[in-house]
């Protein structure tokens, strides 16, 4: 497709009548709406083929039957009943899926709270204390560069520090604070949370920073002039105005942790069960309908969380 | 009002420095450890300094066929980069005007960004499995699979890179002065000339930024590749496979090599952006600045 067709008349919207009459009026020119389709169509097609239709397949397959080695395209609730097996029988104890979701939500909450704290203050420093634009750019870039490098490498990077003979353990042993190496430093919930915070605080910093730089500085001066303390200004002026960024950052972090299976796998020593990991396990066992059923459940819970959060802020207006 | 910096500045500056150390410290540790001596282990202290482990990687005596995975990842990364740039710029231009499916496309992009990767990946793999089954049933019984690096793998990566590309285009056109285009038109430029000689040079630094995101996100992509890449592995998948089995610095050496590519691309992109910005500042017109 010639690019010139795509951008033809880019600068002259509205000069021509709508698509219905365009051909009759000026046969050599394409109507603006047709050009929009040419421009946006390819991206739409990619999302259709590799995101929207696959999601539909996930829902459909979750209602299919299966045996040890293949999919059986016949309606069955087995994917779901297998997933919730024993959930009623074992009451009041939680069944496997229940425990897994409690664990996932717990990780989610811890990572969210820590990334929010870190992200907020990093963004605050960049937005309000760094005055020169060049420095602001440079320091933001410093925070962004790790995002462009491999996540797995950033996970492995903790091994020489937290391992049994790692820097932390040998340091603590030398100072005599402990006699035996601490076992919970690596391949534990602690290392999972640490790695998730390490990887994804970036997703909190960017939107909060974006909200903060848009705050009119005179509002803050006005608050001071009216006698507000630094803390009052923070709580009553800055936090409310930074709220859109906080909500968007929170949505990113929560959805990432909800679906994560790689960080939890690598840093948890493949021992911690989480929502994303069940899907992976089921796929590896070739139980696709069960994997799909778990994906539908995860999607529903994620969607619920996002809906609740986007009640607080209109995402489209903030981008 | 200002007499020096407030105390909160110093507190937060230390906080920020600690955060940066937290970001980079562990990474630097493994870069250093990949230069262990031949007897070296997985942790400090260093047992001599050598390029033994990195050399071993390139000899192909290690656990993975590095060369093949490297070429596959590079090929995929470059294709994803080109596709991300072209599709994002085109769609970004479309969003400057109202069109019918506008909000469908917008919400698809946002959803693609936040729906957990494992679900997208599973969906793509199911889609291709079903397509395979259909082909086997109706056309060719001996058909192997339509899944692969440049079919399902490419699609999976684009669902991750395109939302970033589109959001960057939004940011660009939020601060783009449309009067520049009006001026070009008034001077008789065709729409294509306006795009080629006015719009593109202005947005070029950010377009390179989109390319940077496209390549690096694909180069390191793991979660979406996991189910959708087909029979072959990309470099990050090989690296992840090593995490459960390896007991010597091979894995750090591989990490260092992968990062070296990332850093080379980042430096190249940022250098080009810097150069373009400088040239724009020096030679750019004063349109939009005066006479207002």
Cα separation, A276 vs B95, whole angstroms: 34
Chain A residue closest to B220 (CA)?
Answer: A150
User: Is B9 within 8 Å of A129 when comparing Cβ atoms?
Assistant: yes
Q: What is the pLDDT of residue A3?
A: 42
Cα separation, A136 vs A282, whole angstroms: 46
User: Is A150 within 8 Å of B236 when comparing Cβ atoms?
Assistant: yes
Cα separation, A261 vs A196, whole angstroms: 11
A129-141: average pLDDT? 89
User: Is B129 within 8 Å of A71 when comparing Cβ atoms?
Assistant: yes
pLDDT exceeding 70 applies to what percent of chain A?
Answer: 88
Mutate to test the interface with A, among B94, B159, B229, B268 (most CBs of A within 10 A): B94
Cα separation, A189 vs A104, whole angstroms: 11
Q: What is the pLDDT of residue B50?
A: 79
Question: Measured in whole angstroms, how far is the alpha carbon of residue A119 from the centre of its chain?
Answer: 14
CA-based radius of gyration for chain A: 26
Measured in degrees and rounded to the nearest 5, phi and psi for residue A149 equal -110, 170
Domains and their CATH numbers in chain A? 3-61 (no CATH), 96-318 (1.10.3720.10)
Q: What is the pLDDT of residue B140?
A: 80
Chain A nearest C-alpha distance from B239 (Å): 7
Token readout for A89 is: 């029988």
Which tens digit of pLDDT belongs to each residue from A213-228?
A: 989 889 988 998 998 8
What ipTM does the predicted assembly reach?
Answer: 0.90
The 3-class SS string of A30-99 reads CCHHHHHHHHHHHHHHHHHHHHHHHHHHHHHHCCEEECCCCEEEEECCHHHHHHCCCCCCCCCCCCHHHH
State the residue for tokens 């601490």: A182
Measured CA angle at B8 (ends A201, A197), to 5 deg? 10
CB pairs under 8 A between A and B: 289
Per-residue pLDDT at A280 exceeds 80: yes
Which tens digit of pLDDT belongs to each residue from A19-55?
A: 333 344 444 577 888 888 899 999 999 999 999 999 9
Domains and their CATH numbers in chain B? 65-245 (1.10.3720.10)
- For A230, the closest of B8, B116, B259 (CB atoms) is B8
In sign, the C-alpha dihedral spanning B281, B283, B288, B289 is positive
Which tens digit of pLDDT belongs to each residue from A78-126?
A: 888 888 877 777 777 778 888 899 999 999 999 999 999 999 999 999 9
pTM: predicted TM-score of the whole model, two decimal places:
0.87
Cα separation, A180 vs B2, whole angstroms: 52
Give, to the nearest 10 degrees, the angle between helix B66-94 and helix B235-242: 130
Per-residue pLDDT at A18 exceeds 50: no
Chain A nearest C-alpha distance from B126 (Å): 7
Which tens digit of pLDDT belongs to each residue from B42-56?
A: 777 777 777 778 877
Closest CA to B215 of B161, B172, B254: B161
Q: Is the CB of residue B127 less than 8 Å from the CB of residue A54?
A: yes
Residue B100 forms contact with A (CB below 8 Å): yes
Closest CA to B247 of A289, A156, A12: A156
Q: Is the CB of residue A263 less than 8 Å from the CB of residue A197?
A: no
Token readout for B46 is: 């260093």
CB atoms within 10 A of CB A3: 15
User: Is A10 within 8 Å of B93 when comparing Cβ atoms?
Assistant: yes
Token readout for A42 is: 């390819």
Closest CA to A314 of A237, A216, A248: A248
Cα separation, B92 vs B72, whole angstroms: 29
């Amino acid at each position: 497709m010639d690019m010139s067709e795509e951008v033809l008349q880019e600068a002259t919207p509205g000069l021509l009548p709508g698509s219905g009459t365009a051909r009759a009026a000026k046969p050599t020119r394409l109507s603006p709406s047709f050009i929009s389709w040419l421009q946006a169509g390819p991206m739409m097609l990619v999302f259709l083929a590799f995101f929207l239709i696959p999601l539909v397949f996930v829902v459909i397959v979750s209602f299919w039957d299966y045996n040890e080695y293949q999919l059986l395209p016949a309606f069955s609730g087995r994917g779901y009943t297998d997933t919730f097996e024993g959930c009623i029988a074992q009451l009041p104890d939680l069944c496997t899926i229940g425990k897994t979701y409690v664990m996932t939500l717990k990780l989610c909450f811890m990572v969210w709270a820590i990334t929010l704290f870190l992200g907020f203050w990093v963004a605050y420093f960049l937005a309000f204390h760094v005055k020169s634009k060049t420095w602001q750019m440079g320091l933001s870039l410093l925070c962004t560069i790790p995002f462009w490098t491999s996540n797995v490498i950033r996970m492995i990077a903790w091994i020489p520090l937290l391992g049994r003979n790692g820097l932390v353990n040998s340091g603590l042993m030398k100072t005599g604070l402990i006699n035996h190496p601490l076992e919970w430093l690596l391949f534990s919930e602690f290392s999972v949370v640490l790695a998730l915070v390490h990887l994804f605080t970036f997703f909190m910093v960017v939107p909060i920073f974006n909200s903060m730089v848009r705050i009119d500085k005179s509002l803050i001066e006005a608050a001071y002039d009216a006698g507000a303390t630094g803390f009052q200004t923070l709580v009553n002026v800055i936090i409310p105005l930074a709220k859109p960024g906080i909500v968007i950052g929170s949505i990113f972090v929560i959805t990432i942790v909800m679906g994560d299976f790689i960080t939890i796998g690598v840093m948890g020593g493949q021992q911690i069960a989480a929502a994303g990991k069940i899907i992976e396990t089921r796929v590896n066992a070739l139980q696709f309908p069960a994997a799909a059923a778990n994906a539908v459940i995860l999607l529903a819970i994620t969607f619920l969380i996002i809906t609740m959060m986007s009640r607080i802020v209109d995402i489209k207006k903030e981008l | 009002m200002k007499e020096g910096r407030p105390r909160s500045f110093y507190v937060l500056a230390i906080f920020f420095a600690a955060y940066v150390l937290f970001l980079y410290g562990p990474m630097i540790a493994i870069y250093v450890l990949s230069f262990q001596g031949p007897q070296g282990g997985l942790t400090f202290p260093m047992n001599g300094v050598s390029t033994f482990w990195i050399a071993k990687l390139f000899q192909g005596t290690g656990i993975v066929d590095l060369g093949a995975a490297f070429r596959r990842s590079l090929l995929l990364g470059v294709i994803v980069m080109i596709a991300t740039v072209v599709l994002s710029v085109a769609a970004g231009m479309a969003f400057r005007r109202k069109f019918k499916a506008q909000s469908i496309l917008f919400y698809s992009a946002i959803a693609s960004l936040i729906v957990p990767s494992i679900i997208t990946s599973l969906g793509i793999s199911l889609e291709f499995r079903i397509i395979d089954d259909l082909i086997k049933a109706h056309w060719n019984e001996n058909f192997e699979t339509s899944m692969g690096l440049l079919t399902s793998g490419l699609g999976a990566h684009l669902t991750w890179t395109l939302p970033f590309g589109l959001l960057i285009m939004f940011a660009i056109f939020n601060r783009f002065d449309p009067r520049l285009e009006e001026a070009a038109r008034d001077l008789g430029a065709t729409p294509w000339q306006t795009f080629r000689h006015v719009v593109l040079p202005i947005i070029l630094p950010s377009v390179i930024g989109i390319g940077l995101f496209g390549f690096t996100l694909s180069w390191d992509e793991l979660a979406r590749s996991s189910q959708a890449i087909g029979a072959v592995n990309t470099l990050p998948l090989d690296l992840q496979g090593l995490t459960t089995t390896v007991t010597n610095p091979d894995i750090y050496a591989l990490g260092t090599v992968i990062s070296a590519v990332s850093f080379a691309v980042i430096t190249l992109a940022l250098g080009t952006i810097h150069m373009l910005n400088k040239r724009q500042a020096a030679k750019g017109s004063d349109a939009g600045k005066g006479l207002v």
